[in-house]
Amino acid sequence: MCQNLGMRLPIREHLFSMSAYSTGRPLDETLRALGVSRVARLASNENPLGPSPKAIEAMKDAASATNYYPDGGGIALREKLAKKLELPIESIVLGNGSDDIIHYLCLALLDEGASIVVGDPSFVRYEAGAQLQKAQVQKVALNDSETHDLNAMAHAIDETTRLVFIANPNNPTGTIVRRVEFDAFLADLPPHVVVALDEAYFEFVSDHDFASAREYLVEGYPVVGLRTFSKAYGLAGIRIGYGFMPAELSDAIDRIREPFNTNALAHAAAIAALNDIDHLRNTLDTNRTAIKRISSILNRYGATTTETHANFVWARFDEPTAPMVDALAKHGVFVRGGAMFGRPNCIRVSMGTENDLDLLENAMATVTTGAQSR
């Protein structure tokens, strides 16, 4: 039995100002409590089609050797990515999800008193990485079209700034930064700043003017690209992501990271997923249809939706959405409320299968009041 002897453990004081990421209750438990049998998981921008069958096979094959440590350098996967991206293997870093690499970037670049510049709202893990380093976070409001305001972000950069995070497409809004704006932003970037373009939803983008990190890295800019197998490749549960960056930075991260930060099943699954073009194509087709249908359902109930370049729709209502989010959950439909992004009137709804969206449509009809219906 643990006893409190009145002593405090020497935990770093500033950790108490941070909050733990809430992943919610385990799904099984939630379903039991709600008494629903069918669910639509539309809250975390996952792939509703599941992993590629080839990735599942590869993981089964790799499972029998999991008594051995994995290849800590992840060479086979990094070679594959290097070839695909036409980048040197030294520039590629693997992570236990791209979250892991966000964390390493903060460890490598931020001392106490340094700062990062991020969009608001944007992906929440950037802030956590900075806080851990006792670095400051300069949040810059998105513009009226819910897109990163690169002009304002450039103005927020000062001598303490070391890192700028731009989620492109942005989570939660699904908007993108285009080349023209990003060129202008880079032209004025002071030399002490690295820009991380977080391309977690890269595969879903079809806009020809999209500012892709790879192009800028090749041209020699201090740019990092972050990508993941959690979204279009349907492998969120196995945790594998990657970054590409100037070799000087990947070398620094190699010194920081856990020697086995990515595992053998993840390496095997990711390689197989990259080889399964059909699964990716199917995912992108399903997403196009899903995005249109989700937008039309939400518009019907009075929401204004933002044009998305990812696998989710960001929608704004005239009133707080928390009651609607809770009511939908009672029908087994899980969507993300905007409150965690500081936008209580918004919701984010991820791509789903036809069945998922039937559930969404029926549940919306039941939970929304006449006033919201349009």
Ligand X SMILES: Cc1ncc(COP(=O)(O)O)c(C=O)c1O
Alpha helix segments (H runs only) across 64-178: 75-85, 98-109, 125-132, 150-156
Longest dimension (CA), the chain: 63
Minimum CB distance to ligand X smaller for 129 or for 241: 241
Nearest approach, Cβ of residue 318 and ligand X (Å): 26
Q: Does 138 bind ligand X (CB under 6 A)?
A: no
Pairing mode, strands 223-228 and 194-198 = parallel
Contact region for ligand X (CB under 6 A) — 97-105, 209-217, 281-289, 345-353?
Answer: 97-105
One-letter amino acid for residue 369 of the chain: T
Question: To the nearest whole angstrom, how small is the minimum distance from the Cβ of residue 167 to ligand X?
Answer: 4
Residues within window 39-58 making contact with ligand X, judged by CB under 6 A: 45
> Is the Cβ–Cβ distance between 86 and 308 less than 8 Å?
no
Q: How many CB atoms lie within 10 A of CB 5?
A: 5
Choosing from 123, 204, 210, 317, the residue that interacts with ligand X (CB under 6 A) is 123
* Sole window of 91-99, 107-115, 252-260, 346-354 interacting with ligand X (rule: CB under 6 A): 91-99
CA distances from 140 to 143, 212, 252, 310 (A): 9, 21, 28, 21
Considering only residues 239 to 268 of the shown chain, the ones binding ligand X according to CB under 6 A are 241
Closest approach, Cβ 126 to ligand X, in A, equals: 9
CB 72 within 8 A of CB 259: yes
Q: Judged by CB under 6 A, how many residues of this single chain contact ligand X? A: 13
Q: How far is CA 199 from the centre of its chain?
A: 8
Is 271 a binder of ligand X (CB under 6 A)? no
Nearer to ligand X among residue 101 and residue 329 (C-beta): 101
176 near ligand X (CB under 6 A) = no
Q: Does 99 contact ligand X by CB under 6 A?
A: yes
Scan residues 185-244 and list those touching ligand X (CB under 6 A).
Answer: 198, 200, 228, 230, 236, 241
The residue with its CB nearest to ligand X is 97
Contact call for residue 97 and ligand X (CB under 6 A): yes
Binding mask 286-325 for ligand X (x = CB under 6 A): ----------------------------------------
Instruction: Name which of 203 and 364 has its Cβ closer to ligand X.
Output: 203
CB 44 within 8 A of CB 350: yes
Contact in structure between 358 and 64 (CB atoms under 8 Å): no
CA dihedral 295, 301, 303, 304 (to 10 degrees): 60
CA atoms within 13 A on the CB side of 252: 14
Q: List interacting residues with ligand X (CB under 6 A).
A: 45, 97-99, 123, 167, 171, 198, 200, 228, 230, 236, 241
